Chains A and B, each alone.
Chain A
Amino acid sequence: MAVIDLANPTRFLTLVNRVLPWLAALTIVLFAFGLTRAMSAPDDYQQGATVKIMFLHVPAAWLSMMGWGLMSVAALGTLVWRHPLADVAGKAAAPIGAAFTFICLVTGSLWGRPTWGTYWVWDARLTSVLVLFLLYLGVLALYWTAEDPGRGSRAAAVLTLVGAVNIPIIKFSVDWWNTLHQPASILRMGGSAIDPSILWPLLIMAVAFTLLFFALHLAAMRNEILRRRVRSMRIIQAQEVRA
């Protein structure tokens, strides 16, 4: 099957039905492995056992931004090529990205209280991630409330591309402004600042969460394609009743 064939929703559904069980199984295995390594990782010399929150918080933060990146590519597909599968991909990614951003905010807050002494500060990193969460809710509102799905999709695609400006702001906020949030310690010039005993479980958990994201995204895309089929069949049914 050529890659271009996947642009056909029926062929895409066939591929999803074939791939999804394997992807789900691999995700479960990686989570089991990652969580075992995370729970047996040593405590941080400063933060103690609270460093275990990092194994959730950091992957969720990465995926919150990756989700928006994926939606931005899909938005280009919707606005430039008007491909229906691009719109399906964008719509399916929005609630998943919002959920991971929510996990990032809540786990960050629960990590911040024992580490910084506060659940929340209005610093650039925390505020820009909160803005990302609100943007996700805005996109969802456009998708779910638009009377005409086509107009809703185009409006959501425009908001997605405008909101993409926020992604580099999140990434570089800790460098551009003086923040309570620590600067990058994994993806940085000069290599990771984290000890391998903690870094490896973190990377395994990050891969597990990424596979979970893609498994959920494929499943949600399949649901959205079926929902659109239901919608078109209901329109045909209504036209037949009227005729």
Chain B
Amino acid sequence: MNLGPHADFIVAAYAVTVFVVAAMVAWVVLDYSAQRRILGDLEERGVTRRSQHKDSR
């Protein structure tokens, strides 16, 4: 595949897009595991949400 005389601009555009998309994917994946971990810690300490209080009544 020949990208011609402006190959640098094409490669840069794809590189920026891949970087931004990878950053977004990493953000949602890492944030999910962080929230799950914190929720797990709180539940281990016996903290429950109000709706869970209602369910247990």
Contact = CB atoms under 8 A, between A and B. Distances in A.
Nearest to B21: A212
Contacts of A40: 1
Contacts of A96: 24
Contacts of A237: 42, 45, 47
Interface in A169-189: none
21 contacts: A48-B6, A49-B2, A49-B4, A52-B3, A96-B24, A107-B16, A110-B13, A113-B9, A219-B32, A223-B35, A226-B39, A227-B31, A227-B35, A229-B49, A233-B39, A233-B42, A233-B47, A233-B49, A236-B49, A236-B50, A237-B45
Given A53-B9, A226-B32, A233-B39, 17 more contacts: A40-B1, A50-B6, A50-B9, A103-B20, A107-B17, A110-B9, A110-B16, A111-B9, A114-B6, A219-B28, A219-B32, A220-B28, A226-B35, A226-B39, A227-B31, A229-B49, A233-B48
A230 B38 contact: yes
Interface in A220-234: 220, 222-223, 226-227, 229-230, 232-234
A123 interface: no
Interface residues of B, number: 34
A110 B13 CA distance: 6
Interface residues of A, number: 38
Interface of A: 39-40, 43, 48-50, 52-53, 56-57, 60, 95-96, 99, 102-103, 106-107, 110-111, 113-114, 212, 216, 219-220, 222-223, 226-227, 229-230, 232-234, 236-237, 240
A190 to B, nearest CB: 29
Interface of B: 1-7, 9-10, 12-14, 16-17, 20-21, 23-25, 27-29, 31-32, 35-36, 38-39, 42, 45, 47-50
A131 B12 CA distance: 24
A226 to B, nearest CB: 4
A212 B17 CA distance: 13
Contact of B16 (A95, A106, A230): A106
B29 to A, nearest CB: 8
Contact of B9 (A102, A114, A240): A114
A53 B12 CA distance: 10
A100 B48 CA distance: 38
Contacts of A102: 20
A99 B20 contact: yes
Given A39-B1, A230-B38, A232-B49, A110 B31 contact: no
B42 to A, nearest CB: 5
Contacts of B12: 110
Contacts of A222: 32
B19 to A, nearest CB: 10
